[in-house]
Amino acid sequence: MKKLLVFALIFFGGLTAWLSAQATLTNDQIPRLVQSGLSEEFILKLIDQQGSNLSSETAGLVELKNSGVSERLIAAIVKKSPPREPLTSYGLMQLAKAQFSDGFIVDVLERQPVKFSIDPAKIVELKQAGVSERILATMLEQGATRELPAGTEITVRLIDSIDSEKNDEGDEFKATLEDPIKLGDTVVAPKGANAKVKLVAEKDSGKLTGRTELSVRLLSIAVDGKFVPVNTSRVTEGSGSRGVRTAKTAAAVGAVGAIIGAIAGGGQGAAIGAGAGAAAGAGSQVFMKGQRVRIPSETVLTFTTEGIVALR
């Protein structure tokens, strides 16, 4: 009995020293830990503490399953180190053939990007390979692309101000959605979601014309916490246009960005508002003095998409 106790102490002492020497766990060490007789709770703690270097790519998950590692431990690996590469239909078939449970595969589908065809022929092939209808339904949901059609109006409110004397072409500015973006009755980006606006033209048209021009366009919007690029066209308006002009008015004649000009010696400001004069408010006034143009924070701008915007 004493010999057994001594042996156990030596074994676990050596194991502890070995684990301490490892900066992070790797996939090939997990089966060794399982085979050593350590409890799942102990291994789960190790994965949580030292699992940043573990791989949860499909081939690695199948190899772990075939090595006798439980789905509970493999699920912890997926949670600790989510897959970086998109899951393909071939990878999905490999998980099914390795006899992972539906719940596990659904969790994997929801945690990583997907890249597979959802045409009927591929669905039949997956079904014949042993992929369940529950997984196929999740696959269809995850693989379906949400798209904004060309010509969609997106209205934002600037957080940052834009100043022709301080900013240069290419500068980016923070904004938030003034109105939610919807696909049918579904809100895909709520009011207040983050957005980015870019200054695409800032120039002095010359002493003879004495005109400064600013042109901005929408760069991206946040959807489900990730910024999605948005392609909007732009139109530059010269300083010859005086008086009140809203972004929605500009959009109606083809202007899909906010275009502001100023006449040397002073020009009347062009108010850019939420579409109606009173809605713009004093905070939305675009100030022009000499060859300087400034678009203050809180200015509301409306943009129109040039092409289809894939939201994921």
Is the pLDDT reported for residue 289 higher than 70? no
Decide which of 143, 171, 187 is a domain's last residue.
Answer: 143
* Segment among 109-113, 146-150, 155-159 with least mean pLDDT: 109-113
* 235 in the same domain as 98: no
Residue 204 has a pLDDT of 56
Higher pLDDT, 249 or 24: 24
* 216 in the same domain as 138: no
Decide which of 121, 143, 165 is a domain's last residue.
Answer: 143
Decide which of 143, 159, 181 is a domain's last residue.
Answer: 143
Model pTM score: 0.45
| Strand ranges (E), the chain | 147-148, 153-158, 162-163, 172-177, 181-183, 186-189, 194-204, 211-223, 226-229, 259-263, 287-289, 292-295, 300-304, 309-310
Count CA atoms within 13 Å of residue 217 on its CB side: 18
Number of structural domains the chain divides into = 2
CA distances from 98 to 61, 71, 87 (A): 9, 11, 15
Q: What is the DSSP letter of 146?
A: P
* Segment among 20-24, 75-79, 240-244 with least mean pLDDT: 240-244
DSSP letters, 235-253, are ----TT--S---HHHHHHT
Question: To the nearest whole number, what is the mean pLDDT of the chain?
Answer: 74
* Segment among 35-49, 178-192, 230-244 with least mean pLDDT: 230-244
Which residues neighbour 46 within 8 Å (Cβ) at sequence distance 6 or greater? Answer: 19, 25, 33
Residue 276 has a pLDDT of 28
* 172 in the same domain as 81: no
Measured distance CA(96)–CA(92) in Å, rounded: 6
* 200 in the same domain as 156: yes
* 164 in the same domain as 291: yes
* 216 in the same domain as 300: yes
* 305 in the same domain as 156: yes
CATH number of the domain bearing residue 267: 2.40.128
CA 261 to chain centre: 34
Residue 139 has a pLDDT of 77
Structural domain span for residue 178: 148-310
* 215 in the same domain as 196: yes
pLDDT in tens, 40-84: 999 999 999 998 889 888 999 999 999 999 999 999 999 888 887
* 157 in the same domain as 287: yes
* 295 in the same domain as 171: yes
* 155 in the same domain as 115: no
* 213 in the same domain as 126: no
